[in-house]
């Protein structure tokens, strides 16, 4: 065989391998407008079965649609009653359309799937509970990108007698044959990572203070204990609404204590660990995580980073605002103690060579140090901006930014421009020093 032909065959084979193994990012050519999911939980087996309808609008000509599907097994996909071919590869689902779609076209897909989630959804038969956390595509087909916002109908079928809370408002709950199906509707479009639910054999406590319908759920807690753990929530919500210049985005909020959780915000819902709840009972001032997750209802949920490289706009803001509430409730020294903790951690990262810009080049496999930067150095940067601008200008800019981008996806550049417009100051030097790690320049 001629050398030139051998080389051609090798290059062709390599190109074929790349084509078969490389999968484009989800979304990209289309926007999902609505998901409708019916999810059946088999808690004893640790498995799920789902049926899902997806409505979307194409914004770039395409012959395929790419979604995130985690470790789910997709059984079938239909559109207008006809089956569509698909493949699953690298945690993504690639659907081939019957013909090329043009910009502006709408499509409706019906998907059946099943799976045994190892992440994203926790099913605990021994603790009689189930709850989601962050990785939505491990329990429903979705576009995971934070900038992709959609509405949701979610129906979850669970053991009869369980209490549950989910994204959006309660539409219906009905029981038959020892099973209960609960249906929620999320009318305001939000990123798919905010979809989810908590369900289980849980105690419930309700609170209507502050004009907000509040609900607390937990296993192994009395109603009085749940009320004690979350007693500061109305005051926190009022403080955050004042600082945001935007009211709480909804009329109800549920806080749940589950077996294992580092803290997770969802649309109108958050959960923390049972151990954390017991810690608050022992020390009623240990409420920073409660404040952090509630702050996300504004910074993270209402105003969301466009992609994960700007994740500090979610987590740094929530960390900072939890400390700002602590200052409001318990004084300046309590706030400054948090600031000092952020400063020490940031100095450790710098000394170890782990410091990076707050706008990450990528966020595929973040380390513990990466998360410390986003959470703690991000909060420290906001404290430094507060010190630079002064109280009046800083909080005015903070409100202006939140109002302008409510319901939208943002980048760090959006935040900088909003602060500059509000304060009337150029802040290139500040952002070069604190956010981008460029050569520092004086702030004018």
Give the model's pLDDT for residue 439.
Answer: 60
Give the model's pLDDT for residue 22.
Answer: 73
For residue 263, report the phi and psi dihedrals to the nearest 5 degrees.
Answer: 110, 125
pLDDT band of residue 443 (cuts 50, 70, 90) is: very low
Q: How far apart are CA 408 and CA 306, in angstroms?
A: 8
- Contact between 76 and 83 under an 8 Å Cβ cutoff? The reply is yes
First and final C-alpha spacing in the chain? 70
For residue 70, report the phi and psi dihedrals to the nearest 5 degrees.
Answer: 50, -130
Long-range contacts of 349-352 (CB under 8 A, 24+ apart): 349/373, 349/377
Q: How far apart are CA 444 and CA 436, in angstroms?
A: 18
Range in 267-281, 322-336, 414-428, 430-444 the model is least confident about: 430-444
Q: Which two tokens stand for residue 121?
A: 């959804």
Helix (H) or strand (E) holding 226: helix 223-229
pLDDT in tens, 152-165: 999 999 999 999 99
Q: Note the pTM of the prediction, 2 decimals.
A: 0.92
Stated length of the chain:
444
- Contact between 312 and 374 under an 8 Å Cβ cutoff? The reply is yes
pLDDT in tens, 38-86: 999 999 999 999 999 999 999 999 999 999 999 999 999 999 999 999 9
- In angstroms, what CA-CA distances link 289 with 117, 233, 359, 367? 26, 11, 24, 21
Helix (H) or strand (E) holding 21: helix 3-21
Give the model's pLDDT for residue 408.
Answer: 96
CA angle 261, 267, 273 (to 5 degrees): 15
With CA atoms as reference, report the closest residue to 123 among 181, 230, 215, 39: 39
- Residue 282 scores a pLDDT above 70: yes
- Domains of the chain, each with CATH number or no CATH: 30-117+135-196 (2.60.40.1730), 203-297 (1.10.390.10), 305-436 (1.10.390.10)
pLDDT in tens, 5-32: 333 333 333 333 333 457 888 988 999 9
Q: How far apart are CA 47 and CA 235, in angstroms?
A: 40
Range in 149-153, 248-252, 364-368 the model is least confident about: 364-368
Q: Give me the mean pLDDT over the 248-272 stretch.
A: 96
CA angle 182, 189, 267 (to 5 degrees): 55
More confident residue, 153 or 365: 153
């Amino acid at each position: 065989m001629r050398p030139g032909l051998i080389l051609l065959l090798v290059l062709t084979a390599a190109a074929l391998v790349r084509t078969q193994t490389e999968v484009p990012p989800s979304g990209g050519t289309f926007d999902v407008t609505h998901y409708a999911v019916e999810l059946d939980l088999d808690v004893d087996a640790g498995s799920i079965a789902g049926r899902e309808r997806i409505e979307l609008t194409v914004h770039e000509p395409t012959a395929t649609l790419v979604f995130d599907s985690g470790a789910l097994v997709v059984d079938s996909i239909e559109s207008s009653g006809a089956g569509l071919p698909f493949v699953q590869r690298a945690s993504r689902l690639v659907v081939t359309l019957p013909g090329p779609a043009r910009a502006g076209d709408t499509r409706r897909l019906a998907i059946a799937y099943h799976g045994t989630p190892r992440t994203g959804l926790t099913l605990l038969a021994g603790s009689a509970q189930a709850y989601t956390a962050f990785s939505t595509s491990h329990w429903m087909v979705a576009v995971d990108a934070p900038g992709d916002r959609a509405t949701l109908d979610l129906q979850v079928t669970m053991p009869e007698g369980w209490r549950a809370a989910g994204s959006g408002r309660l539409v219906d709950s009905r029981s038959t044959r020892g099973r209960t199906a609960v249906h929620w509707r999320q009318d305001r479009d939000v990123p798919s990572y905010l979809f989810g639910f908590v369900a289980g054999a849980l105690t419930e406590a309700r609170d209507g203070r502050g004009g907000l319908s509040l609900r607390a759920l937990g296993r192994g807690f009395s109603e009085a204990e749940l009320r004690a753990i979350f007693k500061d929530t109305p005051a926190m919500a009022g403080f955050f609404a004042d600082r945001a210049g935007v009211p709480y985005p909804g009329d109800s909020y549920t806080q749940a204590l589950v077996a294992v959780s580092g803290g997770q915000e969802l649309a109108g819902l958050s959960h923390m660990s049972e151990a954390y709840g017991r810690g608050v009972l022992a020390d009623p001032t240990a409420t920073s995580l409660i404040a952090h997750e509630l702050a996300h209802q504004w910074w993270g949920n209402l105003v969301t980073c466009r992609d994960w490289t700007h994740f500090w706009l979610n987590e740094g803001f929530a960390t900072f605002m939890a400390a700002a509430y602590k200052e409001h409730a318990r004084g300046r020294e309590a706030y400054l103690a948090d600031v000092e903790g952020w400063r020490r951690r940031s100095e450790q990262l710098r000394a170890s060579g782990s410091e990076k810009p707050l706008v990450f080049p990528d966020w595929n496999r973040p380390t513990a140090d990466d998360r410390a930067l986003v959470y703690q150095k991000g909060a420290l940067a906001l404290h430094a901006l507060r010190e630079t601008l002064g109280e009046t200008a800083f909080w005015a800019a903070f409100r202006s930014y939140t109002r302008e981008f409510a319901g939208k996806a943002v980048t760090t550049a959006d935040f900088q421009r909003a602060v500059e417009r509000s304060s009337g100051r150029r802040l290139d030097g500040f952002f070069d020093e604190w956010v981008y790690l460029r050569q520092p320049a004086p702030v004018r």
